Structure 1
Amino acid sequence: MVQQCQSQVEIKTLQNTSPPCRYIVHLPALNPERLKTAKAIVEKTVKLHKVFSVQGPYPVIRASLRARGWVEKRTCRPGLHMYARPVKEDRCNEAGDSDGDDDDVKQEQDPDRLYSLMSRLVRNEMVYFYWTNKRDAINTSILQKEQMINHFAKAGSFTTKVGLCVNLRSLHWFDSADPDTFFPRCYRLGARDEKHAFIEDYRKTACTSLLKYVVEGVHQLQEEKKNKHVQKPPDPVIVSKMINTALKVCQDFLESLEHADIDTSLETNPSLAKEEWGEFIDNYYLLVHDGAQIEISNHLVTCCKAMLQRLAEVCPQLDTDGIHNIWIIKPGAKSRGRGIKCAKRLDQILSLVDSDPAVIKESKWVVQKYLERPFLVEGTKFDVRQWFLVTDWNPLTVWFYKKCYLRFSTQPYSLDTMDNSVHLCNNSIQKHLRPSHQRHPCIPEDNMWSDEQFMTFLSGRGYNVQWENVVVPGMKKAVIHALQTAQDLVDSRKNTFELYGADFMLGRDLHPWLIEINASPTMAPSTPITARLCAAVQEDTLRVVLDRKVDRSAETGDFELIYQQATVDIPQYVGVNLFIEGFQLKGGCLLPPVKPLNRSAPKYRGTKKEMATEKIKSLPKVVKSANTAVKNIPNRILPPPVPQPPVPIPIETFTLHLPKTAHRSIHLPLDACSHSVFLWRRGL
């Protein structure tokens, strides 16, 4: 056993330093056997190209790669890399494509310092596998072909709220699906045209909300009047006028969908003025938000029901819109619920962007229709975190993870308050709040459920097949459609993959609605649910991108291939050059000699009458007798001549071959040049 000891090395400063000082560096004791083992492992891994680098707190990735025989090349400072791409300061503060928690690297357990020693030995070797939690940590443009990385460049087209909002509008170019069936409508408040579109949408939604308020609340209001004394209701004429206005706006909307408003003159069918809209919105607040009592006739209730039935056929979000006209305002490039607010008054929403000129200039804010009628678990709101993996963009290849988990809010669901503790389910927000005592006890204090727990809950409520038949297929379609619209915008580098986390909400009918997509989803083991599932999804990711690369039949864990485009074979470019192949004609030339082109026409000899007589004399006797017989038939209509088939003329030809491979020069055999050129001139 070699005795271990520590050595001290004195490093003297330069003579010109004042005052002189000494530094003592303590070098760790080296075990010759351990050093020999480390060198043997490193030599083998370098030959097999198994050097990796991990940035961030990913102990599962490190352990899984080491179990596969990989050696880690550690970076000098956590969070930095020598190949990092320069990023602007505001981009770093609002990365937006990551929902992970603080990525402070924890101290790794390495008692015998073997990992540190091997990392030191591969400090000058090439890294063949990068796993980072920041997209800009590695400059992919300088990577070599065999190097693998876990982030695609230019993926912000769908991992930011602004990118997802804009790109899904072009879905009709890629698929026949309608984004309004799985993505709540969204607008950029910084863009002037979209701001006006949002104002029109808010006004139209106020009209449809009023119709639903009348239909759904008229019976409840009648019951309340019987049980207690209420104040004198507003003038029924004003209420009737509001309903007629709402019906008129909805009718104009339906006609615009059928393009029936193209030939309509604005003078005969004027829209509401700005002052009229302001009065309508104020009365809407008074009725729906403040709960003022109304009186309405049965005839108007019937008209409202009929209009809502017509709108339900063309508006897939009519049910989830509710009656309060609530919208959620989000910073366009932030994550973990930062800066998100809910509001239901138009002036409050517009004031968020009108007060900040920088926001208007950069279009950083988006406003999205809030799902007012979600599916609740014992009166509490939740969302679903679903993972999926993209291993290629050309052809687009998508893997869907079979496991997911639910995230609950700490307070029971209510539309009387716009507090984030009620409406936001991000764990980064809810983990700092204390759960309400009014919440149902079946919801755990860590605010999370696994998909198995949720399926058990659905089965107990009579929804036995909705998870497999409605929820999962809907999430798969939404993910595929979102990726289709971004396929031409993302850098499709080979040997690249990326794991994403999509957030879904479920409507009352369990229909899934895509809220956002996050790159670098959090893998922190914050709860027993995430500790188990996050470790599994990381291990299964390596199975897909590493094990399956070596063996196509390798296990992929809970990842399921749900979409892979058909590859299109591109023909190889062969150039535009051509050459001619010919062959020698056997025997003499059978064609008469070509007369000179510059020869003049023969001179005229004799009169026209003499020439005609000569022509007739040269005709055969049969033709002469036929012409004489024709002349003797007085005023009779002759039948048309019977067409005769052409007489084939034997000529010599040659074949022109155009092969796939082309050459610049034109090759003609020397012994065939005369005949080939002769035939070419004859063709003229």
Structure 2
Amino acid sequence: MSAVTPANGKVHCSITPSLPAARPNKVKTAKALAEKAVKMQKVFTIVGRYPVIRAGLQARGWVERQLPNAGQESASHQGDREKDEDDGTAVVDNAAGIKDRGDESAEAENINDIYSLLSRLVRNERTYFYWTPRNDSIDWRTLRPDQVTNHYTNTGPFTTKVGLCVNLRNLKWFDTADPDTFFPRCYRLGAEDERHAFIDDFRRTACSSLLKHVVETSTRTKGAQDEKDKAESNAQGQTRNSTFRIFSAAVISTALHHCQEFLNILAHSDIDVTVKTVAAVEEKHWNHFLQNYYMVVHKGASIRGSAEFVSRCKAMLVRMQEVCPQLDIDGVNNIWIIKPGAMSRGRGIVCMNRLEDILALVDSDRAMVKDSKWVVQKYLERPLLVKGTKFDVRQWFLVTDWNPLTVWFYRECYLRFSTQPYSTKNLDSSVHLCNNSIQKHFQPSRERHPSVPKDNMWSCSDFKTFLQQQGRESKWETLVVPGMQQAVVHTLQTAQEKVEHRKASFELYGADFMLGNDLRPWLLEVNASPTMACTSVVTARLCPSVQLDTLRVVLDRRNNPNAYTGGFQLIYKQPAVEPPQFLGVNLFVEGTHIRRPKPTIRRQRLASARPCLTQSSRVHTSPEQSETTTTMPTSVRRTNICESTQQPRSLQEKRQPTPPSPRRDQQKRTEVHSVNVVFEQRVIESHSEPRRRPQRLCVRRGGSGAPPALRNFSAEGATVSVIKQARK
């Protein structure tokens, strides 16, 4: 913004940004570059800072077309997931080959001036490459087929907590894999049926956790256990007001009974069993059991005579392991993680281990319950720890097409550590949430092992070294990486039909995993627009590499299929499904003509006894009458014929038909067959009116003054006129 001082002394501000004085040779060079970029369709637009993407495109001859107020828009969009983090502009600029602002040289200023001039020259041209932090920054419906964007539309089925929870249940329709083998079981507490399913799962997990607790505490010798039980029994009177209690073995029997019921349900052995338990009694029974479970597992209470149930508990756990793939990670504390679906960056996520507390938290926000925004997921109580500290894994993957589904997997990833030592007794977020947006607000604990990095991040190379020290280095390539790849592919398969995809789009995602003690990966969530903030030495190296390799896959391979793709490797490409060709509407009907069946004897008898008679198109009673009929108007003839049918309703009601008699009907049928039948042979030439369709007239039987009864018989397609004089 430049200030201009006119002669009157008033200062006017110009909204036109001040540009450096352009030299003729610089302008000529800029025009040539701009014309070449427009001709080759190399005009891009970036919403946000993203200096690595900008430098990578400019190195390929692309020219940036800046949008109005792009800087202000980026402030609100840059970190929808990591809003408060620095994007590492200074570090990334150095990695991209651009020097820091503090020690800019004249050459760097000259380059920036040229880029500014190029952007001004292409301000009215069409953009062919968009890079934005959000999928709603650009209306994809207005894009042309040759315009590239870095987002797909409607990716919520796998990038949101609720969508991932629901869609992975449909994996059985796409693959034989079981989602319970790589995704912790999850429920929407806003849906009534899933709320009841979660309550049943929590109670069942409490039963299996109690059996684990009994088995794990049985490692002590029987004599030591008996001495402890005796000491606790003697001190029971002194500790009545304390929370320490000794429970009978009935609580173990109850847990075994409910585990057996669960196995019977899976085996469909409960179909013919009638349950007569009252709902209120069952609810009271479960509340009593859970309170005893809390006292034993959470408070450390003992169970008298638990050693006698160890063998039964082990046998039941073996049977449960066959049908419950997540039994190992469940632990004994029955911890669940509650996630509000409308928030990101770890906000509002808490861990709880009591059923009543979970339901009370969810019911406190009825709006989110109504929209099914609350998600509860089983917490991995026994993850793999590094020096007693919990961590998770951030893994990038790229989707370049949805039909056929094409997935690229990045070879490197990084680990994010917690600032506090791991403990299931402390449910604070600083212990259990490894998001950098959460951990950056805490100082590393003094109790944490000193070998854990202070910036809370490791590269995958550092983790491989850790596995090598444990003698499990080979597990990374044989178990961890294949498990993460399969989880990503299965997740995308369930959402393939719901994503609004287009051929000229791509998108980079970040998946979060946790590893169990057996190094099996467990998918936690998938993030759209993963943060590229360079907050540590590890991310300062990896984040720029991921962005540059993304451009290699998206742009370089478009012209050269054998181009170098950096750290990305193609892990899945679905066979293309060719849509059927449209040949237009070409319908035809195949079949045979259905002939009208011949009337049966009973139908002929009913037709002969029916009082309704059919009139032919022309009736001749006598030669004299035929001449009169020829010259008579149609309306008059129709009136005379229907004279008997248009009588007043009162007269028709007074005339009651005589009762039917079989003998009389037989006589009438004999007379009908004995009459003289006159066949019409030709049409009177003087008749000017065209022939009309035969009409059926209803002539009431009986009564004086009735016109002659007229009947039509159709035999072999010929119309026969029958004239019969009414009997007086």
TM-score (norm 2): 0.72
1:45 and 1:51 in contact (8 A); partners too: yes
DSSP-derived class of the 2:249 partner: helix
1:42 alignment partner, one of 34, 37, 41? 34
Is 1:81–1:138's contact at 8 Å kept on the other side of the alignment?
A: no
Q: Who is 1:57 aligned against?
A: 49
- Taking a change above 3 Å as real, the CA distance of residues 22 and 536 of structure 1, as seen in their structure-2 partners, is closer
Deviation at 1:462, TM superposition (A): 1.1
Q: 1:104 to 1:454 in 2, by over 3 A?
A: closer
Gaps of at least 5 residues in structure 2 are 94-100, 102-107, 237-243, 589-728
Offset of 1:568 from its aligned partner? 2.4
Question: What is the aligned partner in structure 2 of residue 330 from structure 1?
Answer: 339
The answer on 1:265 being equivalent to 2:274 is yes
Alignment of 1:231 with 2:240, yes or no, is no
* Bigger mean CA deviation after superposition, 233-242 or 496-505: 233-242
Q: Is the 8 A contact 2:214 2:306 kept in 1?
A: no
Change (3 A) 1:184 1:578: closer
- Encode CA deviations 1:401-441: one digit per residue, 9 max, x unaligned: 11001000011111111111111111111122111111111
Flag the 1:551–1:286 CA change in 2: closer, same or farther, 3 A. Answer: same
Query: How far has the Cα of 1:103 moved from its partner?
Result: 7.5
SS in 1 for 2:203: helix
1:23 corresponds to 2:13: yes
Contact 2:88 2:534 in 1 (8 A): no
Give me the whole-angstrom Cα distance separating, in 1, the residues matched to 2:393 and 2:366: 35
Q: In structure 2, what is the equivalent of residue 182 of structure 1?
A: 182
Q: Which residue of 2 is the match for residue 412 of structure 1?
A: 421
Question: Residue 224 and residue 60 in structure 1: after superposition, are their counterparts in 2 closer, same or farther (change >3 A)?
Answer: farther
Cα offset for 1:169? 0.7
* 1:96–1:160 contact (8 Å) kept in structure 2: no
Aligned partner of 1:251 among 236, 255, 260: 260
**Structure 1 position 135, deviation (Å):** 1.6
Q: Is the 8 A contact 1:75 1:81 kept in 2?
A: no
TM-score (norm 1): 0.77
Compute the RMSD of aligned alpha carbons. 2.9
> 1:285 and 1:103, CA in 2 relative to 1: closer, same or farther beyond 3 A?
same
Within 2, Cα distance between the matches of 1:118 and 1:517?
Answer: 38
Q: Is the 8 A contact 1:100 1:520 kept in 2?
A: no
Matched with 1:315 is 324
Deviation sequence 1:545-578 (CA, Å, 0-9, x none): 1000010000111111111110123332223449
Distance (whole Å) between structure 2 residues aligned to residue 496 and residue 254 of structure 1:
48
Counterpart of 1:574? 583
- Corresponding residue of 1:69: 61
Query: What is the letter of the counterpart of residue 515 of structure 1?
Result: L
1:121 corresponds in structure 2 to 121
Q: 1:153 to 1:337 in 2, by over 3 A?
A: same
1:259 offset after TM fit, Å? 1.4
Q: Higher Cα Rg: structure 1 or 2?
A: 2
Q: What is the identity, as a one-letter code, of the residue corresponding to 2:511?
A: A
For structure 1, which runs of at least 5 residues remain unmatched after alignment? 1-5, 14-18, 83-91, 580-684
Aligned counterpart, 1:670: none
Identity of aligned residues (%): 58
2:156 aligned residue: 156
State the shift of 1:227 in Å.
Answer: 8.2
Distance 2:440 2:162 in 1: 27
| Cα pair 1:162 1:366 within 8 Å, conserved | yes
Q: Note if contact 1:162-1:332 (Cα within 8 Å) is conserved in structure 2.
A: yes
Amino acid at match of 2:12: R
Could you say if the C-alpha distance between residues 272 and 558 of structure 1 is closer, same or farther in structure 2, counting changes exceeding 3 Å?
A: farther
Q: Quote the residue 1:111 is aligned against.
A: 109
Matched, 1:294 2:303: yes
1:56-113 deviation line (CA, Å, top 9, x unaligned): 231110110000000111122136779xxxxxxxxx99x9984565588969966232
Amino acid at match of 1:303: R
More moved, 318-327 vs 335-344: 335-344
Contact 1:475/1:512 (<8 A) preserved = yes
Per the alignment, in what secondary structure is the counterpart of residue 395 of structure 2?
strand
Q: C-alpha displacement at 1:228, in angstroms?
A: 11
CA–CA separation in structure 2 for the residues paired with 1:12 and 1:315: 86
Task: Give the superposition deviation at 1:454.
Answer: 0.4
SS in 2 for 1:313: helix
Decide whether the 8 Å contact of 2:157 with 2:163 is kept in 1: yes
Cα distance in 1 between the residues matched to 2:407 and 2:84: 26
Distance change >3 Å, CA 250–CA 37, structure 1 → 2:
same
Contact 2:511-2:525 at 8 Å conserved across structures = yes
SS in structure 2 at match of 1:263: coil
- What SS does the corresponding residue of 2:310 show, helix, strand or coil? helix
Structure 2 partner of 1:86 = none
**3-state DSSP of counterpart to 2:70:** coil
Pairing 1:354–2:363 present: yes
The residue aligned with 1:168 is 168
Distance 1:352 1:166 in 2: 22
Whole-angstrom distance in 1 between the partners of 2:7 and 2:490: 65
Partner Cα distance (2:473, 2:218) in 1: 34
* 1:56–1:104 Cα contact (<8 Å) kept: no
Residue 455 of structure 1 aligns with which residue? 464
The count of aligned residue pairs is 559
Provide the secondary structure at the position in 2 that maps to 1:417. coil
Distance across 2 between alignment mates of 1:399 and 1:225: 60
Among 544, 552, 555, which residue is 2:564 paired with? Answer: 555
Alignment-derived partner of residue 140 in structure 1? 140
How far is the alpha carbon of 1:398 from its aligned partner?
0.4
Which residue type is aligned with residue 575 of structure 1?
G
- 1:151-203 CA deviation, whole Å, 9 max, x = no partner? 00000110011110010011111111111000000011111111111111100
1:100–1:524 Cα contact (<8 Å) kept: no
After superposition, the Cα gap between the structure-2 partners of 1:394 and 1:196, relative to the gap in structure 1 and judged at 3 Å, is same
Q: CA separation in 2, counterparts of 1:99 and 1:486?
A: 25
Give, as a single letter, the amino acid of the residue that structure 2 aligns with 1:74: Q
* In the alignment, structure 1 residue 343 sits paired with structure 2 residue 341: no
Q: Distance in 1 between matches of 2:12 and 2:79?
A: 47
- What is residue 278 of structure 1 aligned with on the other side? 287
Question: Secondary structure of the equivalent of 1:136?
Answer: coil
* Local SS of the residue matching 1:207: helix
Which amino acid is the alignment partner of residue 206 of structure 2?
Answer: A
The CA deviation at 1:239 is 3.0
Q: Secondary structure at the match of 1:546?
A: helix
Cα pair distance change 1:273/1:68, threshold 3 Å: same
- Report the 3-state secondary structure (helix = DSSP H, G, I; strand = E; otherwise coil) of the residue aligned with 2:38: helix
Q: 1:77 to 1:23 in 2, by over 3 A?
A: closer
For 1:22, the aligned partner's letter is H
Distance 1:398 1:271, change over 3 A: farther
- Contact 1:96 1:333 (C-alpha < 8 Å) held by counterparts: no
Deviation of 1:292 (Å): 0.9
**Which string of whole-angstrom CA distances, capped at 9 and with x for unpartnered residues, describes residues 121-168 of structure 1?**
111111100111112111111111100000000001100111100100
- Paired with 1:131 and 1:316, the residues of 2 have a C-alpha distance of 41
Counterpart Cα distance in 2 of 1:23 and 1:464: 66
TM-aligned CA deviation for residue 267 of structure 1: 2.7
CA deviations 1:234-260 (Å, max 9, x no partner) are: 899953221111111111111111111
Q: In structure 2, how many angstroms separate the alpha carbons of the residues matched to 1:455 and 1:26? A: 52
- On the 8 A contact 2:87/2:534 being kept in 1, the answer is no
Contact 2:249 2:303 in 1 (8 A): no
After superposition, the C-alpha distances for 1:201-224 in whole angstroms (9 at most, x for unaligned) are: 100000000000011113349657
Q: Which one-letter code corresponds to 2:55 in the other structure? A: A
Distance in 1 of aligned mates of 2:468 and 2:67: 50
